[in-house]
Amino acid sequence: MRFDIVALFPLAASAVNIISSNDDGWAEANIRAFFESLQAADHSVVVSAPAENQSGKGSKEGEPTVLTEPCQFNSCPSGSPAVGFNSSEPRLGYVNSYPVTAIQYGIETSGPKIFNGAPDLAVTGPNVGSNIDIVNYFSGTVGAATYAAQNGIPALAFSSASGSPTSWESPRPAYSEVYADLATNLTNQVIAAGKPYLPDDIFLNVNFGKVTDECASPADFSFVLSRIHVAVPLITDDDVTTCGDSRLPSELEVSLASGCYASVSVGIASEKKDADAEMQGVVLKKLGNLLTCLS
């Protein structure tokens, strides 16, 4: 009896089931660092990401195929099955197809097997490279997140300014750890604000600035609410009012500002466009004091 009570405790904390994908490939350092960071925060995480680098593939979908060459960074041999997983860590899975197909497989098949149900939340990235403004239309990181959000799984897309493609087996770059920690902070904040984690068809597009000598640790960074697209004067509707302004800075503006920032935009998944002021307001309330103003 006592044993039962102890076993229930982890559930009382806000541990949730998270499906994770990217477009850089399942063996890239960033997704592995994020996997470990989310696990360290007590979440149940399943990775379902492309077997190869599928950067820039947007929202393409395609039947997974048998590998005709090794997986990225030799992480599986040529001839491996169309979908597979790490035999010593079955939570790490690949799908030999596009990012959208990879996350779809995670949501429908590999995730439920381990979660005993649907994922509560989807995360993608952190992408190697920023996904800002119109680049979002071509991004597989954003494509996978918007697929999840359109299929009832609240989704957060993470991208980052620093770094280059790195194998999971290489020494872990410092920026991977910083971005993983920041992404976990934001994820935890979204979870802590309660269900529904995000409104229907809404996703968050998060871009981390460069990791430098000045911006070297997670504590150096501030999150700023932003817009995906640069607003057109007199045409674009007002944004939610915050920081004394009814116009949010664009992701581009935040990326160019001096300081250590992460931009957080509220997007409509089915359109990859900015959400309206009301939806931005829902997210503003949820993120609360995690957000600061751009100075």
Ligand X SMILES: *[C@@H]1O[C@H](CO)[C@@H](O)[C@H](O)[C@H]1NC(C)=O
Residues that bind ligand X (CB under 6 A): 24-25, 27-28, 53, 55-56, 75, 86, 88-89, 92, 128, 165, 168, 181, 185, 218-219, 221, 223, 290
Give the residue with the Cβ less far from ligand X, 39 or 242.
39
Contact 162/130 with Cβ under 8 angstroms?
Answer: no
User: N- to C-terminal Cα distance for the chain?
Assistant: 55
Contacts of 203 (CB under 8 A, 6+ apart): 142, 145, 146, 148, 149, 154, 155, 156, 157, 267, 269
Which residue carries 């590998």 as its tokens? 67
Alpha-carbon gap, residue 179 to 147, rounded angstroms: 23
Q: Which is nearer to ligand X, 49 or 269 (CB)?
A: 49
Which CB atom, from 158 or from 168, has the smaller least distance to ligand X?
A: 168
- Number of residues that make up the chain: 295
**CA-based nearest residue to 95, from 174, 192, 27:** 27
Q: How far is the CB of 81 from ligand X (least distance, A)?
A: 14
CB nearer ligand X, residue 120 or residue 181: 181
Question: Side chain identity at 295, as an amino acid letter?
Answer: S
Which of 48, 75 has the CB closer to ligand X? Answer: 75
| Cβ at position 168, least distance to ligand X in Å | 6
Give me the residue whose beta carbon is nearest to ligand X. Answer: 165
Residue nearer to ligand X on the CB measure, 197 or 221: 221
CB of 75 to ligand X, least distance (A): 4
Which parts of the chain are beta strand (E)?
A: 17-21, 44-50, 83-86, 89-95, 121-128, 155-160, 202-208, 222-226, 261-268, 273-274
Residue 179 CB, shortest distance to ligand X, in Å, is: 11
Shortest CB 276 distance to ligand X, Å: 26
User: How far apart (Å, rounded) are the C-alpha atoms in residues 190 and 282?
Assistant: 11
- Within its chain, how far is the Cα of 8 from the centroid? 28
Min CB(18)–ligand X separation in Å? 17
d(CA 104, CA 100): 6
Question: Could you tell me whether strands 273-274 and 261-268 are parallel, antiparallel, or unpaired per DSSP bridges?
Answer: antiparallel
Q: How far is the CB of 47 from ligand X (least distance, A)?
A: 9
In the complex with ligand X, which residue's Cβ is closer, 147 or 221?
221
**Would you state the structure tokens that stand for residue 232, as one six-digit string?**
């057109």
